[in-house]
Amino acid sequence: MSEWASVSDLAGLPGMPRVKRAVQKRAIRLRWPSRKRKGRGGGRDYFVPCLPVETQLALATRNVDAKRAAFERALRELDYALAAAQAIRQLAKGRRSR
């Protein structure tokens, strides 16, 4: 998980307002450590360890869920590749026995 999160990442998470502008205002009011956001649109990224605990947990859960989904996708692709390899072996055995 990244140690930095954008306003878009934070809006609507537990412990955060639903509206991006409200997140920005809270960040300013509470003086959360931030840095200029790299990438399109600019803005700011906020240091995750300084955010409310429930927000940190939500970000960590989101990260774990994304990694789990990627792992499951990779397993499905591996299953398809193994099934294809087995089918090719069966075809090759059939041709050799003639």
Cα–Cα distance measured from residue 91 to residue 76, given in angstroms and rounded to the nearest whole number: 23
Domain edges within the chain: 4-72
Phi, psi of 32 (to 5 degrees): -65, 135
pLDDT 10s digits, 1-45: 679 999 999 999 999 999 999 999 999 999 999 999 887 888 999
Cα–Cα distance measured from residue 29 to residue 77, given in angstroms and rounded to the nearest whole number: 48
Cα–Cα distance measured from residue 18 to residue 4, given in angstroms and rounded to the nearest whole number: 19
pLDDT in the model for residue 30: 96
Domain 4-72 maps to which CATH number in 3.40.50.10860, 1.10.10.10, 3.40.50.620, 1.20.120.420? 1.10.10.10
pLDDT in the model for residue 66: 75
What is this structure's pTM?
0.64
pLDDT in the model for residue 98: 58
